[in-house]
Amino acid sequence: MPLDLIQTELGRDRRALTQQVGALNNRFRHHSAHDVMHGALAEIEDLALVSSFGAESVVLLHMVAVVDKATPVLFIDTQMLFTETLEHQHEVSDRLGLSNVRIIRANDEDVQRDDPYGALHVHDTDACCNLRKTFPLQQALSGYSGWISGRKRFQSGTRATLEFFEVEDGTGRIKVNPLAHWAPEDVPAYMDENRLPRHPLVAKGYPSIGCAPCTSPVKEGEDPRAGRWRNQNKEECGIHFIDGKMVRTGEKT
């Protein structure tokens, strides 16, 4: 097919996707996170939940389990996670009856080539995140038309206008954000109401949990994410797309 025809078809697909997302946002604008989760799984084919099994992950995992326990759950094992996170993943999956948890890891050859000694994070955290998290996830997502994220408006200025549904730049996938309108206090309230298990590191001063080498305890009064990549101009691992590129979002200024 000539290039101009390919570009025309891509433009049509993009317009159709944008119209679908717009219709979903209008339909669920005043609905709850549960309604958004139900609607997303009913309306969007080949939808997966991406979960870190971190401090707040159990909320979305519980919501998806209520709707369909067989929903694909993509868990990125960077092979640098806390032992407590791996144990929490097993506990939560068993308790909620999640039957389709898929463990995503970087290709062994890529790790041997780019980080043979497991020290890449010391001098280039972005490269480490790309190797162990971003690229493996994007490869895993290539077979899905959309994915569910735990992002919320209150988390950073770049998310202040976050919608329930959005078109992910550069991929043609739909991203679903059921918790977009939640306030900080809604998360622990939901966990208490549904008696959900806490990540064991939360009680030890880790309100936001990533890989062990790049996560430290947070002192009283600090921002909950202060322990992630402490003293670096970095707030996220880069699993989100902006203008068609995998980038860090919500950077500190």
pLDDT 10s digits, 200-221: 999 998 888 999 999 998 888 7
**What is d(CA 27, CA 35) in angstroms, rounded to the nearest whole number?**
10
Task: Report helix, strand or coil for 89.
Answer: helix
- Residues 6+ positions from 177 with CB-CB distance below 8 Å: 148, 149, 150, 151, 152, 162, 163, 164, 165, 166
Indicate if the pLDDT at residue 246 is higher than 70.
no
Query: pLDDT by residue (tens digit) across 82-109?
Result: 999 999 999 999 999 999 999 999 999 9
102 close to 75: Cβ distance less than 8 angstroms = yes
The structural domains of the chain, ordered by start, are 3-202 (3.40.50.620)
**112 to each of 40, 106, 119, 131, 216, how far by Cα in Å?**
38, 10, 12, 11, 27
Q: What average pLDDT does the chain have?
A: 84
208 close to 54: Cβ distance less than 8 angstroms = yes
Determine whether 237 is an active site residue.
yes
- Residues 6+ positions from 235 with CB-CB distance below 8 Å: 156, 225, 228, 229, 248, 249, 250, 251, 252
Query: pLDDT by residue (tens digit) across 150-203?
Result: 988 776 555 667 899 999 887 889 999 999 999 889 999 999 999 999 999 999
Indicate if the pLDDT at residue 112 is higher than 50.
yes
φ, ψ at 181 (rounded to 5°): -95, 5
The one-character DSSP state at 2 is: -
Task: Read off the tokens for 149.
Answer: 């994220």
Of 149, 176, 160, the residue nearest 250 (C-alpha): 160
